[in-house]
Amino acid sequence: MGTVSSHGTPKPVAPGTPGQGEPAPPVDGSSLATQTTVRIRIPEKRMPLGPKLSTIFATIALVAWGLYLLLRPPQRVPFVNLPKFVAFDLNLEQGSTRDCKANGCFLFLLGTDVKTQESIPSAVALAEELEARGVETTFVVTGGTVKECSRVARLFRRPVLLDPEGVLQKELSIPQLPYFIVHETAGKIRHRSEEAMTASQVLRAAGL
């Protein structure tokens, strides 16, 4: 027997197929991700306004160099005129820290204390050894009064500059006495030290 179909009768809906007028079932998010590429724009990070690191480092370097120039000790022996003790029975003459005309100049600053007086014989022996090698030694007795400096200078038995007001010590930023300076005839300091120097050390500092 054949099947009779009627044009007015609707066909049955197959399972899983949406019917007419019905909303489509929701689509899973994972399938959307495979079908559509979503572009996410990440905001760019902007550097904060201000000087560059190179500018900061350059400024620090300039400040450090300025402090070094300001705080470093003087590099030249100042031209200072001082009373010069020559002999006890003579009037004081005038001398200077720049009177040295030798190949090398050794400036030896001492005080008027007892310890200084005890070291005078060895200091004079050092000066004589240096003079034989072309280095001239200038002794400066500083501190106290002119009379006190003259009394100590007499023990050297040679010309000594007197600086009772400590002008040279202030000009050279000398922290304590005794103090030793090797310099050129024009005043440029080649070496300065708070420690006692030997003849070989002075000659080496003078370039001899």
How much is the pLDDT for 26?
56
pLDDT at 62 over 70: no
Per-residue pLDDT reduced to its tens digit, 27-50: 555 554 555 555 666 666 565 555
Check residue 120 and give its pLDDT.
93
- Report the alpha-carbon distance of residue 105 to residue 97 in Å, rounded: 10
| pLDDT tens digits for range 157-204 | 999 999 999 999 999 999 889 999 999 998 999 999 999 999 999 999
CA distance 54 to 195: 42
Percentage of the chain lying above the pLDDT 70 cut:
65
**Helix segments in 11-113, DSSP class H:** 29-35, 53-71
CA separation for the pair 74, 120 (Å, rounded): 27
CATH number of 81-205: 3.40.30.10
Cβ atoms 134, 55 nearer than 8 A: no
pLDDT of residue 36: 52
pLDDT band at 75; cut points 50, 70, 90: confident
User: What mean pLDDT is reported for the chain?
Assistant: 79
Span 100-133, pLDDT tens digits: 989 899 999 999 998 888 999 999 999 999 999 9
Report pLDDT for 117: 86
pLDDT of 25 reads 55
